[in-house]
Amino acid sequence: MNRAPILIGYYTMVRKDFMRIMRIWSQTLLPPAITMALYFAIFGTFIGSQVADIHGFPYIQFIVPGLIMMSVITSAYMNSVSTFYFAKWTRTIDELLVSPMPSWVVIAGFVSGGLIRAGLVGVIVIAVSLFFTKLTLFSIGIIFGAAFLTALLFSFLGLINGIFAKSFDAISIVPTFVLTPLTYLGGVFYSVEQLPEFFRNLSYFNPILYMVNAFRYGFLGVSDVPLSLAFSVMGGLTAVAFVATIWLFHKGAGLKQ
């Protein structure tokens, strides 16, 4: 298959998922906006007004980047895992598997859907946050880079979850029991420097800490971890997830008998 048909195949997948995301906006775009508005109101405004500044910033300003990142992570992951598992469950995945599109194009199609939804949700949550606080921009490049790498990583991870999932329960186990705790403990609501040494050292094993801090650095110019280390962790994990996804597709794991 030469380049033009591959691009058309990829475009078809992305267009289809974009249309789906927009068609069911009340399930894909609205919930994170409402959830984050509640977080901003309760934790940021009501409780946050009683909390001391962190790294020289008011509490609400400190938590906004982490909350945006939280919705980016959840949206990227859920989009990939749900579209892929639904396609597998209904066997519409066969439409793609019988086509001449190479595996990497199919993967790119699913992952792009995750990126699009994460991007849209990120922009919506940023817009919602402006009702509660003002946002400072330290580096747009770092904001974009951290958000992109994180969304990419979690799109791949969602896809891997979808590959192994054998029931709808299996696609909610990881978000509920792994993703949510790691996000909450990933420095969204606090600086790890405020933690006792043991928990601070433990937090450094949480990859989401690096994503939240890199993203926050883009807005506020402060981070609990070195920026180069944060981007190395994100880049390294994304590369591993990419290779793992390609390998699983190549093997036909969970797809081909």
Partner 1 sequence: MATTALKVENVKKVYGKDGKQKGTEALKGVSLSIEKGEFFALLGPNGAGKSTLIGILSGLVLKSSGVAEVAGIDISTHPAQAKAHIGLVPQEFNFNIFEKVENIVIDQAGYYGLSRAEAIPRTEKVLKDLGLWEKRSASAQSLSGGMKRRLMIARALVHEPEILLLDEPTAGVDVELRRGMWDFLRELNQKGTTIILTTHYLEEAEMLCRRVAIINKGQIIEQGSVKELLTKLNIVTLLLDSVEPITDAALVLLRELAIERVDETTIKLTLKPGQTVNEAIRKIGATGIQIANVRNSGSRLEEVFVNLIEKD
Instruction: Tell me the closest approach of the beta carbon of residue 81 to partner 1, in angstroms.
Output: 17
Please tell me the distance from the alpha carbon of residue 28 to that of residue 217, in angstroms, as a whole number.
27
CB nearer partner 1, residue 134 or residue 166:
166
C-alpha–C-alpha distance, residues 108 and 156, integer Å: 9
**Structure tokens belonging to residue 48:** 């946050």
Binding region for partner 1 (CB under 8 A): 1, 4-6, 8-9, 11-13, 16, 90-92, 94-102, 252, 256-257
- In angstroms, what is the minimal distance from the CB of 250 to partner 1? 10
Q: Which is nearer to partner 1, 16 or 166 (CB)?
A: 16
Residue 4: CB minimum distance to partner 1, A: 7
Residue 93 or 192 having the CB closest to partner 1: 93
Nearer to partner 1, 52 or 98 (CB): 98
- Minimum gap (Å) between residue 152 Cβ and partner 1: 23
